[in-house]
Amino acid sequence: MDLEEIVFQIILNAGNAKSSCFEALKNAKEGDFKSAEKYLNNAEEEIIKAHNIQSSMLQKEASGDHQNVTLLLMHAEDHMMSAILARDLITEMIELYKFIFQTKGIMLN
């Protein structure tokens, strides 16, 4: 794959992760914590895919195979970091929803 294809793969994985995170939050808001967890797990898988691509690029860079830093590459990195941030924050928000549901005496599923 050339650099552009690699970058678009990172963007795709990160976008999928972010979408899954927000689906998890939507499900948690509705009290469906099992589905929320499935979406978070899917998000984690997508983040790992993006991270593995990034790690491969870093290894190549460290071995002397330098890539040009393009605006598109920076955009992909932004997407990855925002997906990671979404995962972290939404995981905490889901814990808050669980607490709210438990406090109200609503059975969790």
The mean pLDDT of the chain is: 93
Q: What does the pLDDT read at residue 76?
A: 95
Asked if pLDDT for residue 108 goes beyond 70, the answer is no
How wide is the angle at C-alpha 75 spanned by C-alphas 73 and 78, nearest 5°? 115
Note if 75 is an active site residue: yes
Q: What does the pLDDT read at residue 68?
A: 84
Asked if pLDDT for residue 107 goes beyond 80, the answer is no
CA nearest neighbour of 73 among 5, 1, 17: 5
CA distance 55 to 30: 37
Q: Is 65 marked within a binding site? A: no
Extract the runs of DSSP E, i.e. beta strands, from 15-105: none
pTM of the model: 0.89
CA distance 70 to 18: 23
Asked if pLDDT for residue 33 goes beyond 70, the answer is yes
Tell me the average pLDDT across 11-28.
98
Mind listing the pLDDT tens digit for each residue in 43-77? 999 999 999 999 999 998 899 888 888 899 999 99
Query: For 3-108, CATH number?
Result: 1.20.58.80
Q: Where are the domains of the chain?
A: 3-108
